[in-house]
Chains A and B, each alone.
Chain A
Amino acid sequence: MSTNTYSLSGRKKEVSNKKLTWTEKIYLVAILKGMMVTLKHMFKKKVTISYPEKTRPFSDVYRGKHMLMRDDEGRERCTACGLCALSCPAEAISMKAAERTADEMHLYREEKYAEIYEINMLRCIFCGLCEEACPKQAIYLTKSKQIAKADISRDNFIFGKDKLVMPLEAAIENTKQQNQA
């Protein structure tokens, strides 16, 4: 069997150079067929998702914006050990540690805390290694669908503690739910 007549896939087609018939030449039948196809598409379900009103359903393992957690008494968990910064492959995290004073017992869980904690959102690759490295379970990547807002200033992409620490209301809500359970 020569390769000319043999087809492995079974879909081989001989190219023909046949002349078009008159009905084919005026294209009308083909055009009407095509128009029926497009007409069907007009009434199909649209694939557009109107972001930001609607968002695409994200995967369960989606990693969004970071959050610095509070414990059940509302104190910040972070102890500024720097392991997250060390583990970060993109060098996005930087922090400055400070010592807790006696009147700050209700604010910070450990004796040492992060006075400044910054994540550069332009560098961050949302890999989640900081989350894995943290010994105090202080940093998590949330399922927040709000991606860092567009801006023209690079400084605005460096998120400080004001944007990263868990809001107190959320901490109170969490504690309430835990007590109920």
Chain B
Amino acid sequence: MDKTIIIDKAVIIVVVFAVTMLMAMYATLAERKIAAWIQDRIGPNRAGKGGLLQPLADGLKLFAKEETQPNTPNKFLFKFGPFLAMTLALMTSAVIPWGDKFHLFGRDIELQAADLNVGLLYIIAVLSVGVYGIMIGAWASNNKYSLMSGIRAASQMISYEIAMGLSLIGLLLMTQTLSMREIALQQEGMNWNVFYQPVGFLIFLICSFAETNRAPFDLAECEQELIGGFHTEYSSMKMGFFLFAEYANLFISSAIISVLYFGAYNYPGMSWAVENWGVNIANVIGIFALFIKICFFIFVYMWVRWTLPRFRYDQLMNLGWKSLIPLALLNLVVTAIVILLIKN
């Protein structure tokens, strides 16, 4: 194996990790700012210019807090919960193509940690394991509210994963590949999947809200009934990890939506840019395009959170099982028929 590949991948992994952390940090500030604007307020503006240092202050505060632990027989699992939540939130980023191939030092560098040929499957797998952090943490807390929250998170995940998977199969029929890079390559120019799979996109978006445990599907942590749910018993940086994992998830799932449905790093006029300005410059613009898309979806997540009230539990289940799954199945069948007709 070529040594340079190891260096390339190491650099990409470190950069992706750092960028994910940075985005998660500033997502907390963006969340508070957007919440404030929607409620006709200004939002945090004391730490740094326009509140830019607020995430640092929050992080420092969490570090400085006293660490308490409930009297639970599962001391290991109690610590393992936040660790798992954070790890799984960061793991998904491995297969996301952040940009096309760079041509540097006389060789091609792929901006992707691992180009798995089953990348899509990997994402579904990691997303479904993602709930384990919450479940384990909630169960180990030895607290009835936390347990309720863990049960809710698990059942919600099971219900919405089906619809999510079905909507992805519709996409899969079109792309004929599970590799994220090839899906990205197929959407060259404005040939984005969202124009061919609008219903599939909608279902995927709704299920992503549920998978990231965000409003209006934040039944796992609803403050009013479950006093914070799975992180009731957590304090200091362990709680910070749970909260941080939520924002890392937010960033990653926005990235997945952008890659699967909104053309990844492709932008109109990319081939022209490659011809006239060279591969590298066109790629840098591509990365920016991807980040603009990601930021837009992060904004949509927050926008929805501060607009909608939380679903009641039966509404959540009705929506998942009685509306989204039949709709996803219908979408799948229609896609299959259309593809069959076109091929003949």
Residues of A bordering B, CB below 8 Å: 25-28, 31, 34-35, 37-39, 41-42, 44-48, 50
Contact = CB atoms under 8 A, between A and B. Distances in A.
Nearest to B300: A35
Interface string B59-71: 0000000000000
24 contacts: A25-B319, A25-B322, A26-B323, A31-B304, A34-B307, A34-B308, A35-B304, A35-B307, A38-B38, A38-B303, A39-B303, A41-B37, A41-B38, A42-B34, A42-B37, A44-B40, A45-B40, A46-B37, A46-B40, A46-B42, A47-B40, A47-B41, A48-B42, A50-B42
A44 B40 CA distance: 7
A48 B41 contact: yes
Interface of B: 34, 37-42, 45, 202, 303-304, 306-308, 318-319, 322-323, 327
Contacts of B42: 46, 48, 50
Contacts of A50: 42, 45
A160 to B, nearest CB: 33
Contacts of B303: 35, 38-39
A93 B163 CA distance: 73
A113 B48 CA distance: 51
A26 B319 contact: yes
A128 B220 CA distance: 55
Contact of B307 (A26, A28, A37): A37
A127 B41 CA distance: 33
Interface of B is mostly: helix
A53 to B, nearest CB: 11
A46 B41 contact: yes
A38 B40 contact: no
A35 to B, nearest CB: 5
Nearest to B318: A25
Contacts of A48: 41-42
A48 B202 CA distance: 36
A46 B37 CA distance: 8
A149 B256 CA distance: 52
Given A26-B323, A48-B42, A50-B42, A31 B37 contact: no
Given A35-B304, A37-B307, A27 B38 contact: no
A26 B306 CA distance: 19
A38 B38 CA distance: 6
B198 to A, nearest CB: 12
A27 B319 CA distance: 9
Contacts of A39: 303
Contacts of A26: 319, 323, 327
A25 B323 contact: yes
Contacts of B323: 25-26
A112 to B, nearest CB: 50
B297 to A, nearest CB: 14
Nearest to A40: B38
A39 to B, nearest CB: 7
A28 B307 CA distance: 13
A26 B38 CA distance: 24
Contact of A31 (B41, B307, B322): B307
Nearest to A34: B307
B298 to A, nearest CB: 15
Contacts of A37: 307
B38 A42 contact: yes
A48 B42 CA distance: 6
A35 B305 CA distance: 10
Contacts of B318: 25
Q: Which of B45, B202, B307 has the most CB atoms of chain A within a 10 A radius of its CB?
A: B307
B304 to A, nearest CB: 7
B109 to A, nearest CB: 40
A41 B308 contact: no
Contacts of B202: 28
Nearest to A30: B308
B206 to A, nearest CB: 9
Contacts of A38: 38, 303, 306-307
